[in-house]
């Protein structure tokens, strides 16, 4: 199906309206700089003025959620764009907690940052991980569904790395039984030189 420029523009506008966060990093005066920053409840971005040495050209962005985590009914969707020759670190102040959903209200976090488009000389570090829960509260893989997708595309839409993790409660065994004694799933990707 072919889209006109106006249709693509409308599609992007609706994505932006639906997003709870949008961040753009571009070069300004030779330094990586946040040129656009938007967030709305339940998400907040914190961008400190100084992190690390002054010679380091990197923008640090901390994501926070009101209430100390993702609560029943929260839906977070972010779009992060980092321009050529820029460096950005997207992190949280602590691990993001997801609290039990009440009734039919589900909670979700969708990060467009998990789709990466890189050029040949790009460098990229991804650390994507999940823990089994709060052990002291008796939680161990106590959720209905977890899905994490990390895709890296090289110049245009050439797939370089495609990965998906799906943990879903089953009718025969639950997630905790399948995970046995494992408490963490982690993936680390180092790309570039």
pLDDT tens column, 39-58: 998 889 999 987 777 788 89
Does residue 112 sit in helix, strand or coil?
A: helix
Mean pLDDT of 134-159: 86
Structurally, the chain folds into a number of domains equal to 1
Which has the higher per-residue pLDDT, 166 or 2? 166
Which has the higher per-residue pLDDT, 159 or 4? 159
Element (H, E) at 175: helix 175-179
Supply the DSSP string of 32-71, one letter for each residue.
EEEEEEEE-TTEEEE--S--S-TT---EEEEEEEGGGSB-
14: left (phi over 0), alpha (psi -120 to 50) or beta: alpha
0.85 surpassed by pTM = no
The four Cα atoms 87, 92, 96, 102 give a dihedral, to 10 degrees, of -90
- Residue 118: DSSP 8-state: E
pLDDT at 9 over 60: no
pLDDT tens column, 77-98: 888 889 988 999 988 877 777 7
Kindly indicate the confidence band of residue 190, based on its pLDDT and cuts at 50, 70 and 90: very high
pLDDT at 121 over 80: yes
Kindly indicate the confidence band of residue 1, based on its pLDDT and cuts at 50, 70 and 90: very low
Distances (CA, A) of 58 to 85, 128, 193: 10, 20, 17
The answer to whether the CB of 104 falls within 8 A of the CB of 135 is no
Q: What are phi and psi of 18, to 5 degrees?
A: -75, -25
β-bridge mates for residue 24, sequence order: 36, 81
- Residue 12: DSSP 8-state: H
Domain extent for 16 = 3-192
């Amino acid at each position: 199906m072919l889209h006109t420029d106006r249709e693509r523009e409308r599609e992007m506008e609706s994505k932006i309206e639906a997003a709870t966060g949008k961040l753009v990093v571009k070069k300004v005066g030779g330094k990586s700089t946040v040129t656009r920053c938007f967030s709305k409840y339940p998400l907040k971005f914190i961008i400190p003025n100084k992190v690390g040495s002054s010679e380091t050209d990197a923008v640090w962005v901390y994501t926070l959620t009101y209430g100390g985590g993702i609560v029943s009914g929260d839906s977070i969707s972010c779009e992060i764009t980092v321009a050529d020759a820029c460096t950005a670190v997207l992190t949280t102040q602590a691990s993001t907690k997801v609290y039990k959903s009440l009734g039919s209200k589900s909670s979700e976090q969708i990060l467009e940052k998990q789709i990466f488009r890189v050029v040949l000389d790009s460098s990229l570090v991804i650390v994507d991980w999940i823990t089994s829960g709060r052990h002291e509260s008796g939680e161990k893989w106590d959720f209905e569904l977890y899905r994490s997708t990390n895709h890296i595309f090289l110049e245009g839409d050439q797939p370089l790395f495609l990965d998906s993790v799906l943990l879903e409660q089953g009718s025969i065994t639950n997630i905790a039984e399948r995970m046995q004694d494992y408490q963490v799933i982690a993936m680390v990707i180092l790309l570039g030189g």
